[in-house]
A = this chain, B = another copy of it.
Amino acid sequence: MLSVEKLYYRYADGTDALSDINLDVKKGQFIGLLGANGSGKTTLLRTMDGLLKGFEGRVVLDGTDIRKLTPKQIYKKMGLVFQNPDDQLFAPTLFEDVAFGPLNMGFDDNEVKQRVAAALKEVELEGLEKKSVHNLSFGQRKRACIAGLLAMGHEMLLLDEPTAGLDPMGEYRMMKLLQRLNRENGVTIVMATHSVDLVPVFLDELYILSKGRITRGGTPEEVFNAPEDMANIKLRLPHIAELIYRLKHEDKIKFDRIPLTIGEARREILKTFENEKY
Contact = CB atoms under 8 A, between A and B. Distances in A.
B139 A38 contact: yes
Contacts of A168: 194, 196, 234-236
A137 interface: yes
Given A242-B262, A273-B273, A276-B276, A37 B251 contact: no
Nearest to A269: B247
Given A240-B239, A240-B240, A251-B266, A170 B138 contact: no
A164 B164 contact: yes
Contacts of A270: 247, 251, 253
Contacts of A266: 243, 246-247, 250-251
A166 interface: yes
A167 B234 contact: yes
A181 interface: no
Interface in A186-210: 194, 196-197
A197 B37 contact: no
Contact of A194 (B37, B143, B167, B277): B167
A94 to B, nearest CB: 12
A106 B38 CA distance: 33
B246 A139 contact: no
A55 interface: no
Interface string A116-151: 000000000000000110011111101100000000
A169 interface: yes
A172 interface: yes
Contact of A37 (B15, B140, B231, B253): B140
A143 B170 CA distance: 24
